Amino acid sequence: MKPAAVGAVAALDTHHHRRVPLWLLALFTFSGTLAMHIFVPALPYAAQGLKASPGAMQLTVSLYIAGLAMGQLIYGPVSDRFGRRPTLMVGLVLYTLAGLVAAWAPDIDTLLAARLFQALGGCAGLVLGRAIVRDTASSGEAARRLALMNLMVTVGPGVAPLIGAWLAASLGWRSIFLALCGLGLLNLVFTWRLLPETGALDARANSSLGRLGRNYLQLLKSPAFLGYALGGGCATTSMYAFIATAPFVFVHELHRPLQEVGIYLGLLISGVWLGSMLATRLVRRVRLQRLMVLANGVSLLAALALLALAFTAHLSLLAVVGLLFLYTMGAGVASPAALTEALSVNPQVAGSASGLYGFTQMAVGAVCTALAALGRDPALSSACVLVGASLLAQAGFWIASRWRGPHRG
């Protein structure tokens, strides 16, 4: 090989494996989900201000989850083709502008539209943060870095309900969207000044939209990827089923004041934080497949106990918070392991895999949220959904291991 060619390959390899600060990727990632959690305590205030029904206000959460799902199908393949950095900047611009529109929304229809576009912009960070980790680390190191990033990310949503409740009560619910708009601007500046391009330049130069479509089709035809994606979604975002019903469970069934709901939600989400912290230590000691199954097994046992208490009308505040904490802790451990395995099925299309995985997660979250709203008893309905989702997660991990196992080194 000619010296010039050798130099080019070396430069490309160095560029491809260039380190990106983990705190920066965490900031990009958690911004997307923060916008969902921070607004939940403000729903009654916004409903009063816009003269909207509670059902219409709950649509602002459902549409946001749907936007997170749809957007991730777009950003993955687009970033594989055009690069991580420019794609992320486009998403952040959309996130910021939509937040500004939401802050000045004159009616519920405008707010719903703004929330949808805010989610479409915010999910860029979810997809590309994970893809950049996979770009710059080996499989084993990626699992550890994803767990660390998940640890940082869940700090935000853990305190988001408290921040949202304080902003809505002291400055008005519109101040929440002004704060999110400022966060979008900050992320945009950080991307411009601090983020290098990590995507494989040679792969982008030789790719086409048709090939990207074939990459998606290849992932959809892979039982291993589908098993990890479905299992990971059912093990993690199924918790949205309880989060959506939490105000009704705590206020109507457990007779707690509305002001305390943010505290309990923060405690539940902190279980994800603890699980992610445990995952950073366990990924080096336990095989990822085994780690996923065991972690989701903890969630399944907690969901079964919650179902038994709800069915026999023996719910208590301590039992609900404790069991949901265990459930979310299991989700925090399983999440980075399932994601790492899913992205490793075909590392050449990590962006597309990250987008499709994220879509599956959010789609599962949206379906679980909708199912939990069907019954007359919110606690019983959400417990049934959590049990079913945990069983599906176990099935997904088993299918993935059956198809992936023979091809592992």
Q: For residue 173, what is the domain's CATH number?
A: 1.20.1250.20
Number of domains in the chain: 1
C-alpha–C-alpha distance, residues 34 and 122, integer Å = 9
Question: Does 326 fall in a domain?
Answer: yes
6 assigned to some structural domain: no
Let me know if residue 235 belongs to a domain.
Answer: yes
Sign of the dihedral through C-alpha 359, 271, 32, 147: negative
| Average pLDDT, integer, range 370-384 | 86
Residue 377 pLDDT? 87
What pLDDT score was predicted for residue 81?
78
- 209: in domain: yes
Q: Which of 39-48, 102-111, 386-395 has the lowest mean pLDDT?
A: 39-48
What type of residue sits at position 358? G
* 20-46 mean pLDDT: 84
Q: What is the mean pLDDT of residues 179-183?
A: 95
CA angle 208, 346, 355 (to 5 degrees): 70
Q: What does the pLDDT average to over 367-378? A: 82
| 336 found inside a domain | yes
Q: What is the pLDDT of residue 15?
A: 42
**Closest listed residue to residue 243, CA positions, set 372, 332, 348:** 372
The pLDDT assigned to 311 comes to 94
Task: Look up residue 76 and give its amino acid.
Answer: G
What are 255-308's pLDDT values in tens digits? 888 778 778 888 888 888 888 888 888 877 888 889 999 999 999 999 999 999
395 pLDDT above the threshold of 80:
yes
Kindly report, residue by residue over 84-96, the tens digit of the pLDDT.
Answer: 899 999 999 999 9
User: What whole-number distance in Å separates Cα of residue 22 and Cα of residue 215?
Assistant: 28
Tell me, yes or no, whether 370 lies in a domain. Answer: yes
Residue percentage of the chain with pLDDT more than 70: 87
Handedness of CA 177, 36, 326, 288 (dihedral sign): negative
Domain that holds residue 66: 18-407
Does residue 4 register a pLDDT over 60?
no
Q: Determine, yes or no, domain membership for 3.
A: no
Say if 9 falls within a structural domain: no
Name the band, by pLDDT with cuts 50, 70 and 90, for residue 10: very low
Q: How far is CA 371 from the centre of its chain?
A: 19
CA distance 16 to 5: 16
Do 32 and 156 contact (CB within 8 A), yes or no?
no
What proportion of the chain, given as a percentage, has pLDDT over 90? 34
Instruction: Answer whether residue 17 shows pLDDT above 70.
Output: no
How many CA within 13 A on the CB side of residue 83? 14
Query: Between the CA of residue 62 and those of 138, 225, 409, what are the distances in Å?
Result: 36, 26, 42
